[in-house]
Amino acid sequence: MIDQETCLGCGACKVGIFDYDKEWAAFVILDENAGTAEVFDELFENAPEGCPTESIKAETPPFKNFRGNRLDEFR
């Protein structure tokens, strides 16, 4: 998932599982940034380390309660 509160929308996470909202904060397409989908994409493996603001979060098992999601505000 992406912590949209700290995301700068810099484009470092160009992997196909991410997109950007109207404020250019990235989000995970698979689960609308809920943090509940498991990602099995080799391209994602280095994404957290490539984020300059450390906004890309990964956890196993997937997150249950995360409060950094702004996506619903822009729909």
What is the longest distance spanned by two Cα atoms in the chain?
30
DSSP element (H, E) containing 47 = helix 47-50
Confidence band of 74 (pLDDT split at 50, 70, 90): very low
Please give the sequence-ordered ranges of beta strands (E in DSSP) within the chain, or none if there are none. 18-20, 26-28
C-beta of residue 23 within 8 angstroms of C-beta of residue 74: yes
Q: Are 41 and 70 in contact, with CB atoms under 8 Å apart?
A: no
Q: What is the pLDDT of residues 24-72, one digit of tens each?
A: 889 988 888 888 877 776 767 778 888 999 998 887 665 555 555 554 4
- Would the pTM count as exceeding 0.85? no
User: What is the mean pLDDT of the segment spanning 12-24?
Assistant: 84
